[in-house]
């Protein structure tokens, strides 16, 4: 069934002067306008498209990929405001994402960016946004476990760290003492679940833990050395903040990586720094 705010893989059923008509397995039909087609398109071809409602409330398809889909959170810019709500840039030409007044929390200002969640309105069937995130993001039933690789979206900053949205479903926390590179609200990153507490809090790290983390970091260090002419001005006595600035890893992980590369004979180390052999 065709639903707004989602990607669909559809089949070209007919070609008209207005564009391609695409159908799903139930023979539901939607128009892909000419600006997204080519002369090479043929009936029977399959197309990966995003479906949404146009200004006349008709379902229409596009080959553009939006910054957010139903069931996802994103950091979007407000491009316009009306008495009914705000409109967000979600990456589609000529069509903005509606953020109704009822879904707004706090002051929404044109030109500013906000973390929002996209969902299908159960009355209109339209894809709309909300920045009342508690309605969609929670830790009541946790679907991740310790050491899982997860997608994180940085939602807010506090004195102790950054609150993140995990896999578009859960709240998590990245503590400042676990950060070895700058991050900001709106950033997306790959993370790893460090801990899940009895009361449902999820702690996340941007680095893998244990041996897997060292393996990944060793390759990072090799690449840094190659990209810097085979030399980095770091050694055992380097300041941890300088290590973090140059390598985006902790001093402890850096030393373990250096130890492995020294043992394999790939580098030498002096008071000036480390050098590729």
Name the residue ranges covered by the structural domains of the chain.
Answer: 6-62, 73-135, 149-205, 210-276
What was the pLDDT predicted at 213? 63
Q: What pLDDT is attached to residue 94?
A: 87
CATH topology of domain 210-276: Arc Repressor Mutant, subunit A (1.10.10)
Work out whether the CA dihedral 46, 49, 52, 56 comes out positive or negative.
Answer: negative
The whole-number pLDDT of residue 177 equals 84
The whole-number pLDDT of residue 125 equals 92
pLDDT at 209: 67
In CATH, the number for domain 6-62 is 2.40.50.140
Tell which residue, 179, 220, 195, 102, has the closest CA to residue 145: 195
**C-beta separation of 76 from 97 below 8 A:** yes
- The whole-number pLDDT of residue 46 equals 95
The pLDDT assigned to 257 comes to: 86
CATH architecture for residues 149-205: Beta Barrel (2.40)
pLDDT tens by residue, 47-57? 999 999 998 88
Instruction: Give the per-residue pLDDT at 17.
Output: 93
Say if CB 43 and CB 53 are below 8 A apart.
no
Pick the CATH number of 73-135 from 3.40.50.300, 1.10.357.10, 2.40.50.140, 2.60.120.10: 2.40.50.140
Q: What pTM value is reported for the model? A: 0.78
Residues of the chain with pLDDT under 70: 209-213
What is the pairing mode between strands 19-23 and 59-62? unpaired
| Model pLDDT for residues 210-242, shown as the tens digit of each residue | 556 677 788 888 888 999 999 999 988 888 888
> Can 73-135 and 149-205 be said to share one CATH topology?
yes
Spatial separation of the C-alpha atoms in residues 15 and 32, rounded to whole Å: 10
Q: Please answer whether residues 154 and 123 qualify as being in contact, where contact means their C-beta atoms are separated by less than 8 angstroms.
A: no
At 55 the pLDDT is 85
Bridge partners, 114 (sequence order)? 76
């Amino acid at each position: 069934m065709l639903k707004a705010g989602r990607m669909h893989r559809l089949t070209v059923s007919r070609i008209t002067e207005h564009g391609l008509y695409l159908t799903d397995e139930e023979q539901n039909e939607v128009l892909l306008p000419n600006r997204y087609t080519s002369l090479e398109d043929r009936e029977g071809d399959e197309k990966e498209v995003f479906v949404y409602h146009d200004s006349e409330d008709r379902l229409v398809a596009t080959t553009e990929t939006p910054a957010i889909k139903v069931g996802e959170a994103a950091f979007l810019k407000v491009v316009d405001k009306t008495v009914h709500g705000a409109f967000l840039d979600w990456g589609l030409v000529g069509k903005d994402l509606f953020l109704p007044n009822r879904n707004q929390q706090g002051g929404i200002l044109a030109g500013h960016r906000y973390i929002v969640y996209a969902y299908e309105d159960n009355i209109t069937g339209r894809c709309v946004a909300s920045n009342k995130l508690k309605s969609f993001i929670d830790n009541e039933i946790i679907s991740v476990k310790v050491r899982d690789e997860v997608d994180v979206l940085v939602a807010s900053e506090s004195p102790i760290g950054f609150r993140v949205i995990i896999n578009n479903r859960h709240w998590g926390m990245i503590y400042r003492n676990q950060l070895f590179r700058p991050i900001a609200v709106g950033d997306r990153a790959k993370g790893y679940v460090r801990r899940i507490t009895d009361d449902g809090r999820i702690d996340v790290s941007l680095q893998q833990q244990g041996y897997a983390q060292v393996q990944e970091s060793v390759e990072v260090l090799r690449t840094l050395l190659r990209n810097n002419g085979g030399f980095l001005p770091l050694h055992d006595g380097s300041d941890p903040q300088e290590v973090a600035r140059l390598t985006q890893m902790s001093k402890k992980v850096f030393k373990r990586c250096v130890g492995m590369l020294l043992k394999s004979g790939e580098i030498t180390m002096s008071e000036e720094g480390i050098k590729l052999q």
